[in-house]
Amino acid sequence: MNGLDYWTLCFRTFAVFCVALSRISDTCVAQKISTQPTTYEVRVGDSVELPCHFSELDAEEKVVVWKRGLDVLAIDDELTNNDNRFQIKRDGLNYILSIVSLEPYDSADYTCSVTSIPPVEITHKLQVNVSPAVKLTPSSSTPVLVRAGEEVIVKCSGSGNPPPEVSWSRKSGWGKHAVPMPSHSHTAHGRLRIERVQVADSGVYECRASNGVGDDALAEIEIKVEASEKTASAEERESVTSAPWVETDRLYIPVAVGSDANITCRYKGQPEPTVDWLFNGFKINPHNTQFRHSTQLGSFDGNSSLTVFSLKDIHEDQFGRPGPPALLLRGNTLSWTVQSVAPVSEYKVHYRLPEEDTWKTDQSGDNWEHSVSLDFLQPNTEYELQLSAKNNIGWGSLARDTVVYEPGESGAVQPNKLTKDDSNSAIASSWTTFTLSLPLILISIFVF
């Protein structure tokens, strides 16, 4: 190769390199998006247009893609889904994603990208705002009726986007001005809890949900508290008489086989309620052979009505489920006693967080177990504990009082124990051949 051929080859190689470099440079510059990422807050039902403007674009070689999260919505100006609320509006090099009749589930990140190396993309954030709404449990259609000294809980569930803040207040009447809340009331997680409710706590309570979108959502509910018969003054007994109530001195009565028993309870209501006796949850039929020797009596003592269910010659098929457990918490140990003539065959531990309405029952055991570890509970978390027992008739009622418990401060839950009182087994074995346990017979009261 002479000198001229050498320099000719070098020149041609350099020219090819320059052309390739120029094309690479042009490609990188051409795929630039001029639109800036933006957050759009739009009301539900409205429309929105999300822009994606290219300063230059090789539309013949490159593909523009719109995605919601990881889902592809459109390729160039053709949609890939069947939702007719979506549309691609192309204005020159601006690929606009249009969405009409926005729904709450349209809130997401929307990305516009072009197929290039490296990829070029822009992401808009869409938040569909929804005005707040509230739902009361129990329903506000009827008043919440409670007795003095009891605990009342009303739950207010707020919905909307962004999630609303829920607050409670007390009103002087329906739609009237606010008055101070009871000092023994607590509000958290949308729940109103009034401990040891008093007659003076009767009134209208308002739940308010606010998220800055539209008007606040309001719901009112009336709480009516009837005075306890033992503590009420004459004026209180006369002024609050709409809620029927029932009480008895003994919830669990052990009796001997073949003996008689009278079960009594007091009740009151206005208008005068009707009374039914139930056995293990079912209304007693006096014509049933099981209760052929039973009678029902009634009287009025001036302040309340008295009903007496009289059983004669009690036999084995008339005893019931275990009585309500009596709970005692000492440190990390929860002890209990259960009255049941028939041996207890199983127990069940019920637990929940303070803001929850339903019990979890993951832990249970038989009557041969005397303790159970609480390591299934999370540390540094407050729980409410309950317990129920079962014999050959069925599950008994929960304890009359709920125990509040919080595991230890350490990283792992302390090995706490639930201990069953051994004296209960002794009582059961000594009574089995001589006595039977009369069931917890309930009274249901209806107002017509």
Q: Tens of pLDDT along 400-447?
A: 777 787 776 443 333 333 433 333 333 332 222 222 333 333 333 333
With a cut of 90, say whether residue 23 has pLDDT above it: no
φ, ψ of residue 430 to 5 degrees: the values are: -75, -25
Provide the token pair at 101: 């009749």
- In the predicted model, what is the mean pLDDT of residues 173-182? 80
Higher pLDDT, 208 or 342: 208
pLDDT tens for residues 312-356?
A: 777 766 566 777 777 777 666 777 777 776 777 788 888 888 767
Whether the pLDDT of residue 37 is over 50: the answer is yes
Q: Is the pTM of this model over 0.95?
A: no
Tokens of 447: 């107002």
Q: Which of 6-15, 181-190, 393-402 has the highest mean pLDDT?
A: 181-190
Q: How do residues 286-316 score in pLDDT, each as one tens digit? A: 777 777 667 777 776 656 777 777 777 777 6
d(CA 280, CA 322): 11
- Torsions phi, psi for 332 (to 5 deg): -100, 15
Of 78-82, 132-136, 236-240, 279-283, the range with the lowest mean pLDDT is: 236-240
Domains observed in the chain: 39-129 (2.60.40.10), 138-226 (2.60.40.10), 244-448 (2.60.40.10)
| Residue 175 pLDDT greater than 70, yes or no | no
Does residue 209 have a pLDDT over 90? Answer: yes
Cα 145 to the center of its chain, rounded Å: 22
Token couple for 421: 């009182």
Annotate 150-162 with b (16+ C-beta within 10 A) or e (fewer).
eebebbbbbbbbe
Decide: 259 and 312 in contact? Cβ < 8 Å.
no
Best mean pLDDT range from 111-115, 273-277, 419-423: 111-115
Question: For residue 397, what are the β-bridge partners?
Answer: none
Distance CA 174, CA 172 (A): 7
